Amino acid sequence: MTDQFDGDPFVTIGADGADYIIKGGQPVMDQGLVNHVNMCLLTEPGWWGNDIEPVAERKIESKFIVKSREPITRQSLLDTNKAAIQDVQGDEFSDVQASTTNPVTQNIRLEMLLVPPSNKVQELVLLRSGQNWINQKNNPAGDKET
């Protein structure tokens, strides 16, 4: 059983932005994989936090979020997929693979396989329905019993 105090506060992404889940006065904690990927993929260009970050390499600006808003074509799906990999790739993962598809109408589905330092492959799925992103992951931190 995971200690509810270990890790980082789990950030959920919804229609109104980011939020925390609080249970019994304690934020639900997670190991940071979902937080890291969500911030890399879903941080708007021009985010105010970049103005106060002194190290250029730590500034966050998602190419993925911009590409995912383009009209859906075969080429835009390829470009969105490439942007997702570029946004997430770094020292945090030894391997990042992605598959971006258009399952129905205005939906875009991004499936990512990530290999963190533990070498345990993690899967993360993001689904855009219209302009709302729904974060889906097997056994998300928000559903864990504490």
Q: Is residue 2 part of a domain?
A: no
How many structural domains comprise the chain?
1
Q: Is residue 20 part of a domain?
A: yes
Pick from 88, 43, 81: nearest CA to 62: 43
How high does pLDDT run on average in the chain?
81
Continuous segment of H or E residues that includes residue 38: helix 33-42
pLDDT 10s digits, 39-86: 889 888 888 888 998 888 888 889 999 999 899 999 999 999 999 999
Give the angle 46-85-15 at the CA atoms, nearest 5°.
Answer: 50
Q: Is residue 53 part of a domain?
A: yes
Q: Which of 25-29, 32-36, 121-125 has the lowest mean pLDDT?
A: 32-36
**Could you tell me if 62 and 40 are in contact, meaning their C-beta atoms sit under 8 angstroms apart?**
yes
Structural domain including 95 reads 8-143
User: How many angstroms separate the CA atoms of 142 and 53, rounded?
Assistant: 29
Global confidence as pTM:
0.72
Q: What pLDDT shows up at residue 23?
A: 87
Continuous segment of H or E residues that includes residue 19: strand 17-20
CATH of the domain at 91: 3.10.450
Q: Is residue 55 part of a domain?
A: yes
